[in-house]
Structure 1
Amino acid sequence: MLPSIGRATDLWTTFQTPTAFLTEVFGSTPPAPKLLMLDAAAQAKLTAAFGRAYPQAQLRYWKADGRSAWILDDIGKVGYQLTTSGFVVKDGSIDSARVLIYRESRGEQIAEASWLKKITGAKLAGAKLDKTVDNISGATLSVKMMERMAATALILDSMAAA
């Protein structure tokens, strides 16, 4: 069974708060957040990976020591609830990934460390990841969601570096 810090409802599992994620990544004093503006050109790049325009016009991120941290939301299936995940990007690849808050009724296995390691080291190949990530039976849409968010984090990191 996966650890749970607390439940907002029977279906919501908080594995790690965004604040705890940033502390894990950067230490006890995370850097101040930066703001990335997502204009039409940025949205066009993101749509290829995210599958639709990113739902925000601006996005906070954190950057220090050659790494950037991104906290993103996505849904695995239309009509389901948002899942919040954190991604760390270093040198153009996923350095680490975490499921922070999972709000769907199935597929929470994507929060297991053994599965998240499969995303680690992934880079962009076009608008997708360059690694094949194994599916989890019963969690196909959640796996695809995490792949989308990881690719989106890589694109956002490249935009922030420009």
Structure 2
Amino acid sequence: MKRAVFGFVLAMSVGISGAWALGIPQIQHLSKEDFLAQAFADEPGWKMLRLNRDLKKQIKEILSHPYPAGRIRYWYQGTRTAWIIDEIGKDQPITMGVVVENDAIVDIKILVYREERGGEVHEEYFTRQFANVRLQGEGLSKSIDGITGATLSVNAVTKVAELALVLHRLVQPDQVAQH
């Protein structure tokens, strides 16, 4: 009986399709709307960044696999951008939101977590490591501490952080004229 009640509560909180589709767990930590409200003081604008051949190659180097789409949506206000990107943890996509300003990460949030293990990556003790991280050479300016049992999820978050920093640079007004 307790299991049935838990299943019903889970289905109502994350949606039936998300809770039981293929038996994949899905935990929504933050909605897209709430993430954007936290990221920006006012309603942000949004644009689509088209991924040309060179950018797709660069993204593939960061993620270690091709990005599945030809465009990435981002939100902006002034020099601040926000990116919502899915990346595979162990087996399933993790939906992440990254806020970037002045070429540094302001915040990173796990919006939806779909893996059975490694969900600690949504905790503030982990995500705050990314605050003020920048690109340095071919990676991040700071090494990120892992979480026991969550190596693949930690790697996914780290890759998305680097990707958001690269994409942010591309859409800044002083960089757009060069690309």
TM-score by length of 1: 0.90
The answer to whether 1:63 aligns with 2:76 is: yes
With 48-57 and 89-98 compared, the bigger mean Cα shift is at 48-57
* CA distance in structure 2 between the partners assigned to 1:65 and 1:128 by the alignment: 25
Amino acid in the other structure paired with 2:33:
T
The number of residue pairs the alignment matches comes to 156
The structure with the greater share of residues assigned to helix is 2
Any idea what the Cα deviations from partners look like across 1:15-43, whole Å, max 9, x if unmatched?
0011110111113x422311100010111
Counterpart of 1:6 in structure 2 is 13
3-state DSSP of counterpart to 1:6: helix
Amino acid in the other structure paired with 1:48:
E
TM-score by length of 2: 0.82
The correspondence for 1:98, drawn from 94, 99, 109, is 109
Counterpart of 1:24 in structure 2 is 38
Counterpart of 1:127 in structure 2 is 138
Gaps of 5+ in 2: 1-9
Counterpart of 1:158 in structure 2 is 169
The answer to whether 1:45 aligns with 2:58 is: yes
* CA distance in structure 2 between the partners assigned to 1:153 and 1:6 by the alignment: 29
Amino acid in the other structure paired with 1:15:
H
Select the structure of larger CA radius of gyration: 2
The answer to whether 1:73 aligns with 2:99 is: no
The 8 Å contact of residues 127 and 151 in structure 1, kept in 2 or not, is answered as no
Q: Quick one: higher RCO (CA 8 Å, sep 6+), 1 or 2?
A: 1
Q: Shift of the alpha carbon at 1:159? A: 1.4
Amino acid in the other structure paired with 2:48:
L
Counterpart of 1:143 in structure 2 is 154
The 8 Å contact of residues 45 and 77 in structure 2, kept in 1 or not, is answered as no
Counterpart of 2:118 in structure 1 is 107
CA RMSD of aligned residues (A): 1.7
Moved >2 Å (runs of 4+): 4-8
Q: Share of identical aligned residues, percent?
A: 31
Gaps of 5+ in 1: none
